[in-house]
Structure 1
Amino acid sequence: MDENNTRKIKVEKHVWPDELEELRKKRRKQILTVALCIVFFLGGYLFNHVTSATPMINNNNGSLESESRKFNEIYEIMQNEWYFGKDEKDISEYLLDQSIFGLANYNEADPHTQYLNAEEAESLMTSLSGSLTGIGIQYYRQNDTILVDKVYKDSPAEKGGLIQGDIITKIDGVDITDVDIDKIKEMIMGEEGTKVRVEIKRGSEVKTVELTRATISITAYGYVRDGVGIIELSSFSDNTADEVAAYAKSFKEQNVKSIVLDLRNNGGGYVQTALDIAGIFMGSGKTVIYQEDKNGNLTSYESSNVEDEYTFDHYAILMNANTASASELLAAAFQEHLDATLVGTKSYGKGTVQQSIDFNDGSIFKFTVAEWLTPSKEKINKVGLKPDEEVNLPTALTFAPSADTTAYKVDSVGAGIQDAQIYLDFLGYDVDRQDGYYSQKTADVLKQFEKDNQLEISETINDDILTALNSACARKWHDEKATLDVQLLKAIEVVK
């Protein structure tokens, strides 16, 4: 069939849309709108001809016929009697799509075998390009608020003065408080050269900036600090290796002797890009990755023969719990071939290989076919890499905030209270505890924060104050990263 075109896709932790939302939820306080599929447990069976009376599941002894009949009966009920079916444009398509989702997704043994609908697949392919047209920000929803998480270097947003921690309140004059996150994306993105007005709130300050959309690289950024070349890599996309080579050349011209590759929060990418990056620094012919199939057969992948190679005296790799897949494998290769020092916290541990099948409707089914091993043939899946130098960032930057939306008064206990205490401690306020008990001391400190930020004085810990605290922490990280990023400081120390 022409719709079953099998191809290999990028080697990564596979932060697909659902995983990305889960990752963000672990790192920040946010409320997600999730479409739950509660009736498709039996969707794990093959679903050909679901509307026919013929059992969808057959085997030689007919032991699954009852399950098949059950599935068909549920399908017909959902199609004809389910109340919320009236909200679907094509109920048959919706039910089939959810059935496939139930078959492929949320496999406890293998979370990386998944079905992506057309919209999710399009989002994936956009991420593979390593560039986008827009204003150059990452953002996320915290309850009803859109917070700026990252501003890309040399982007329209950076040139317009946006920083991490800014709260976006309006786009082209439209209040986005209750606007769907996908609609917000449409409002921000657009054709290169077109303009968009963004209203932001920073503390008590509110201002509107007009930005001109542009095509922005979103995978690599390099700079020199204390005589050390730093290259931040957010993923391994089409153009990442070329960008890395350009930075390496620039570092050589500046007589830089040591390199730090920052792979924190790098979920992976194309394996060929990882091999190309390896070739830039270690030359061609070095084993970077082994692939082991289900029969135990090994295939080696070597560093590429690139046009320009650049060698340096010392290397360090920055990593954390979100460093995954291809980035983990590249880190291991640097450690083994270039004696690189791994700095930070243990990596994610994603070491499986996926292939995908593309369908005519734009959807994709990806499934695991093999496992990746390091150059020394060590497995990383569900294990990860341990750092040579373990360095932790402040708790407020790495903990998993609750999704607690309760409003709390003094002398109460709750997860949201603990979140507030952690934030306040990071911001330098003298909190007496971080255990979730709302003491009078915590209330006094909170009042001081509200006063310092020209906010309404209240003893209530709720969504609004948690958003303000989170935003303030993000701005502090942005403003004081030079001293707060103890992981980077350690990496620079070990290579000098």
Structure 2
Amino acid sequence: MKLQRKTGAIWAIVILLFCSAAFWGFSRDERNFEISKNLNIYYTLFRELNLFYVDEIDPGDLVKKSMDAMLSSLDPYTTYIPEAEIEDFKLMTTGQYAGIGALISKHDKDVIIAEPYEGFPAFKAGLKAGDVLLEINGTKVTNKTTEDVSNLLKGQANVPLNIKIKRPGYNKPLDKKLIRENIQLKSVPYYGMLTDSIGYIHLNQFTDKAAGEIKAALIDLKSQHAKSLVLDLRGNPGGLLDQAIDVVNIFVNKGEEIVSTKGKVSKWDKDYKASKTPLDPDIPIAVLVNRGSASASEIVSGALQDLDRGVIVGNRTFGKGLVQTTRNLTYNAKLKVTTAKYYIPSGRCIQALDYSNRNADGSVGKIPDSLITEYFTKDGRPVYDGGGILPDVKVKTEMYSSLAINLIRNFMIFDFATLYANSHESIPAIKDFKLSDKDFEDFTKFIKEKKFDYKSESTELLDALKKSAKEEKYYEISSTEFDALAAKLSPNLDRDLTRFKDEISDLTAHEIVKRYYYQKGGVEYSLHEDKTLNKAIEVLENKTEYTGLLNGSIGLHARKLK
């Protein structure tokens, strides 16, 4: 009976897949036969595997792995979502779930509170970043995965939770009681005035509340006499298409085309236009983007650029121009499947990688320069496809040192901020706080006591080069040069702490600020000495430069003479 249930479940999946494939219009007899044949092979293969494989297998897990592997051969965005992961999927699209309102993370063998969100149960109960979770309702969680712990913390709203924690710097565990609530994460964690006339809005995701939150923020900023706006989309991975359209519609006139989609099912192709009266079609806008700006962020920045409605500042965006549609499957599962590509008003597609034409090794290459096509904005500025949105004003990306990256990766800065916050009741206002020389000395002492050690990418590359030189028998004639270069590139903690003191101090101060002022404070602190933001302010304050960038007389997208 057990075997019959297993094979029956697999056969049901096979039939479902076959019916789905037939539904999508494989009309030719040869194609239908090929599908039927291969699904039958899959079923018989699994049946034999289940009967004769030497060890017991988990049929559900094995089938999911096979489906994941199949879908990953298409593109990274076409995914199978089992019923157990539906809540996580809803969180990505709505920003809403029932839980304690905190980000958790794995730290060695422990799961810790990485960031409590202000105003939610974890915050109300006094949980702090760095707290180690020991038990949840009597269940020990040491050595469990973050997924396991997350499942214990999430669930039905209004249910009490008893959580036992270990707080660094405290001798005894602490018991915390809280009640699970419906959590709605903000799409706009921070907005405010940068100068007397320039407002700022930080949008971190396109959930179903994104446009409404931006509209409310803009209304408030205008009441504070904002005459121009910085919209920060850096690190924003995207989200819902309708929210991207509504965000653009806040700034462009009704009837303007914002984006179109084209795919395999032509009847699904659609042109999306601004359908509402804009809140402010004239306010000067600078949109901040970087490599982490993707999908809906690229629709917003690309549409505003193509319509000559705003100046784009920063670095080229990610280049994710594929449309996903969610299809319902049996047993409450879903398939998120790529069905089309995005095209912004100039007609260009923002997709960077062509997953349908892979290299011989299976990798995916970017569109070559020879195939990049020129398009034109509404007022005639040249813009180009080839992946992502190229800003009107490019700002050089600041790279962190290898020391800083390793300090972050090894939780050194995080752990020091935890101890600092647990021993300091308060800190000055965000604009006045900075790490003192004494604090930096304490940080240096802290990481040395932790026996922190690190490698740099340069030394790893040098080791690889040295190995190749030895294999090719060139090392003996160049060993002196190798040794001299190794001496210069090898990490030296005292030297590097002195050399990168300002960078390390700033990162540490930022982490400490988040302990007292939470997500909103973290965003606000990150804006100081922000070169990209400062350039945007400079452009908005210089009407000649702003107008010149939009009319094509200056900048990366200057209009070509015809």
**Structure-2 change in CA distance of 1:423 and 1:279 (3 Å):** same
Q: Which has the larger radius of gyration?
A: 2
Task: Give the alignment's TM-score, normalised by structure 1.
Answer: 0.65
Higher strand share: 1
TM-superposition CA deviations, 1:399-443 (whole Å, max 9, x none): 9x7xxxxxxxxxxxxxx799679989xx9xxxxxxxxxxxxxxxx
Q: Is the CA contact (8 Å cut-off) linking 2:111 and 2:145 kept in structure 1?
A: no
Identity percentage of aligned residues: 23
Distance in 1 separating the partners of 2:328 and 2:32: 33
* 1:81-480 mapped onto 2 (5 Å cutoff): 81-86=52-57, 88=58, 91=59, 93-103=60-70, 105-108=71-74, 110-146=75-111, 148=113, 150-157=115-122, 166=130, 168-172=132-136, 176-194=141-159, 196=161, 204=169, 208=174, 211-218=178-185, 219-227=187-195, 228-294=198-264, 299-305=270-276, 309-311=279-281, 313-337=283-307, 339-382=309-352, 383-387=387-391, 388-395=393-400, 449=443, 451-452=445-446, 456-458=449-451, 475=511, 478=514, 480=525
Shift of 1:63: 8.6
**Structure-2 change in CA distance of 1:65 and 1:394 (3 Å):** closer
Distance in 2 separating the partners of 1:60 and 1:342: 47
Structure 1 residue ranges without an equivalent (≥5): 1-42, 51-57, 402-415, 428-445, 463-468
Superposed CA RMSD in Å reads 4.6
Distance in 1 separating the partners of 2:31 and 2:102: 56
Distance in 1 separating the partners of 2:240 and 2:32: 45
Could you say which residue in structure 2 is the equivalent of 1:80? 51
TM-superposition CA deviations, 1:22-67 (whole Å, max 9, x none): xxxxxxxxxxxxxxxxxxxxx9xx94499xxxxxxx9599899997
Distance in 2 separating the partners of 1:182 and 1:162: 19
Aligned length: 396
**Structure-2 change in CA distance of 1:154 and 1:197 (3 Å):** same
Could you say which residue in structure 2 is the equivalent of 1:481? 526
Distance in 2 separating the partners of 1:398 and 1:128: 36
Shift of 1:376: 0.8
Shift of 1:124: 1.2
Q: Is the CA contact (8 Å cut-off) linking 1:171 and 1:188 kept in structure 2?
A: no
Shift of 1:198: 5.7
Task: Give the alignment's TM-score, normalised by structure 2.
Answer: 0.58
Aligned residue type for 2:304: F
Distance in 2 separating the partners of 1:101 and 1:476: 40
Aligned residue type for 2:526: K
**Structure-2 change in CA distance of 1:330 and 1:63 (3 Å):** closer
TM-superposition CA deviations, 1:458-487 (whole Å, max 9, x none): 36669xxxxxx9x96872574652436444
2:397 match: secondary structure:
coil
**Structure-2 change in CA distance of 1:199 and 1:290 (3 Å):** same
Higher helix share: 2
TM-superposition CA deviations, 1:302-350 (whole Å, max 9, x none): 12315x6135632122223222111111111122335423233322111
1:101 match: secondary structure:
helix
Shift of 1:373: 1.1
Q: Is the CA contact (8 Å cut-off) linking 1:395 and 1:422 kept in structure 2?
A: no
Distance in 1 separating the partners of 2:233 and 2:244: 12
Q: Is the CA contact (8 Å cut-off) linking 1:224 and 1:230 kept in structure 2?
A: yes
Q: Which range is displaced more, 481-490 or 124-133?
A: 481-490
Distance in 1 separating the partners of 2:107 and 2:348: 39
